[in-house]
Amino acid sequence: MGRWPTAVMCRALGVSEQGYYRSLRRPEKGRHDRRLLQQIYECLREDEENGDNYGVRRITAWLRLHRGYTGGSLRIYGICHEHGLVLRPKRSSKGVTKADRQAEKSENLIKRDFTASKLNTKLLTDITEIPCRGGKLYLAAVLDCFDGSIQGLHMDDNMRAGLCEQALENVCRSNDVAGALIHSDRGSQFTGHTFRAALTRHKLIQSMSGVGRCYDNARMESFFATLKKEKLYRIDTAMMEREEVKSVVFRYIHYYNLRRISSITGGLPPLVFRERFMRSTCQEAA
């Protein structure tokens, strides 16, 4: 007896032709998925302390950058979900600054546009708190919209204006920021004389969010949420001394800047992307 046509055989078996051909591809797909799973584990193990924080987007970016992956993120999600590798946030972060309704206000110049084509032209800043043994630790940070890198930070046991000023000074020591926009919420730390005097001294232009509009500084809030989700919510900081928590934060930000995959820079860590941009700019100018 000759071979039955595929359509006749599928009708006899009560299955669709599409399903039949899909079943023929399953062994090959299984091999590809096993190879992808191995590469996903390579990605997660790349950084011993923080690599297991990656979500599907960053795993996909790593695979494209380092393994030449050309597929979509849904396939990576399916493999991660099947093997229990999908991260779920435990808590949401909350802002700590309070609006100073009496102080002179600055206009919202950034208008939720958190992109920048040049470095040191558009900066974001904010404060967050971390519970520690014996009290709270307050972190002020400054982010460059160009590459998402944290360019300055300072930590203290209070959130007076000096906290934000010192974080800003740390940026200005190593960067030419004259003429840059710096955006914050309308907390009293950012509307007070100390911080504004520092802005004048370094020739920075102030931009401020509207009252109660958290999305006006969403990218800065996103960094703090990432820090807490990937590191601080996974350890019991309330049982740790402030100096120990400071060390954890410093190490995480070092990792964030230099080794963590960034989805906005083609998978490169922020400072790696920054260094390549500066090198290419110098070569073009030569």
Residue 256 lies in a domain: yes
Residues contacting residue 184 through CB under 8 Å, at least 6 positions apart: 124, 125, 126, 164, 190, 206, 207, 208, 209, 217
* Residue-number span of the structural domain to which 252 is assigned: 122-285
pLDDT for 36 = 81
Residues 259 and 145 in one domain: yes
Give the predicted TM-score (pTM) of the model: 0.71
pLDDT for 172 = 95
Domain boundary pick from 56, 82, 108: 82
Residue 130 phi, psi (nearest 5): -130, 120
pLDDT for 42 = 78
Q: How many domains does the chain have?
A: 2
Residue 114 lies in a domain: no
- DSSP string computed for 41-84: HHHHTSSTTTGGG--HHHHHHHHHHHH---S-HHHHHHHHHHTT
Q: Per the structure block, which two tokens stand in for 84? A: 């229990």
Q: Per the structure block, which two tokens stand in for 95? A: 């802002």
Residue 108 lies in a domain: no
- Residues with pLDDT less than 50, the chain: 1-2, 102-103
Phi-psi region of 248 (alpha: psi -120 to 50; beta: other; left: phi over 0): alpha
User: At 224, which CATH number?
Assistant: 3.30.420.10
pLDDT for 208 = 92
Residues 76 and 137 in one domain: no
Q: Per the structure block, which two tokens stand in for 222? A: 């996103």
Residue 213 lies in a domain: yes
pLDDT for 58 = 79
pLDDT digits (tens, 9 = 90+) for 71-89: 888 888 888 877 777 665 5
pLDDT for 1 = 41
pLDDT for 55 = 77
Residue 116 lies in a domain: no
Residues 78 and 126 in one domain: no
Domain boundary pick from 82, 111, 135: 82
Residues 135 and 252 in one domain: yes
